[in-house]
Amino acid sequence: MPTARYLTAAFYRFVDLPDYAQRRPALLDLCLQRQVKGIVLLAREGINSTIAGAPNDVHAVLAYLRADPAFATLVHKESWSDTAPFHRMKVRLKKEIVTMGVPGISPTTGAGAYVKPQDWNALISDPNVVVVDMRNDYEVAIGTFAGALDPRIKTFSELPAWAAQAPALQAREGKKPKVAMFCTGGIRCEKSTALLRAQGFEEVFHLEGGILKYLETVPEAHSLWRGECFVFDERVSVGHGLQPGAHQLCRCCRQPLPEGALESPEFELGVSCPRCFATSTPAQKDSARERQRQWLLAKARAQTHIGRVAGDGVAREH
């Protein structure tokens, strides 16, 4: 039995929810009553969420969701931490639970074939398979599977344009290649494989449960994963066995600090890093300095300061 205080549950499900807006009040009320924190995205196409709290409270929220026929088969992934991964609870209404921006793509009917973690190594070791990392460039930079293509995208909505022109995805002798895709928890791959199938790709696969499930179940000695996996909460990154990684977070851009960042003159704790220094104005930097000052004061008083923190962003991946 884990000794850590906080249970984090990550989950998503693509399902038609015409009444998604009406589902928000009751779900938010339950989470607040149970002191469960995190982010839930609701859209016509389904639900995407990461929540954390005391184990009994998190499981109460999951039980509430599974009592609804739309979420009866909801699958979640668990991890544990000694500190709270989130500081707020938000339930947001969105156009998409993961934004691609291509109308008519339906993961519920068009997604590629799942490949279980224990079978993934054999698939991506096949020289005839094009392996694609579906995550943003800063995520790929700290870890990926050996030999995987990096589309070098900054947002998921850039993927369709990349896929349309990527040399590795072009047909040869009239036949499109076999493609294997992966992401943090699987949600992006549901849409990206559906996109490729809609474009005529016949053999499209994706890692069931994503990188997180692979790191949880495949022994490190047999692993083809290299580096760490970025996660959108206070852990920042995880490694094999989902153990917390060594990466730190820039509190301004909420991305992992690049190598050598702490020695850079563009790094200022809580204010900027080499990746984002040029994108924030002097006024924004001053605001960040004040936020950092308030956080340090709250820490000295053993209080919780609710500022802009890693776990308060969008539930992008599961």
Catalytic residue IDs:
183
* 3 state SS of 189: helix
| Helix-then-strand count for the chain, H and E | 9, 13
Helix, strand and coil in the chain, % to nearest 5: 35, 20, 45
Helix ranges (H only) for 39-88 are: 55-66
Antiparallel, parallel or unpaired: β 143-145 and 76-81:
unpaired
Q: How far apart are the first and last CA of the chain?
A: 23
Asked if residue 187 lies in contact with residue 318, where contact means CB atoms within 8 angstroms, the answer is: yes
> Beta-carbon neighbour count of residue 64 at 10 Å?
15
Longest dimension (CA), the chain: 68
Cβ neighbours of residue 187 under 8 Å, at least 6 residues apart? Answer: 12, 48, 97, 98, 210, 317, 318
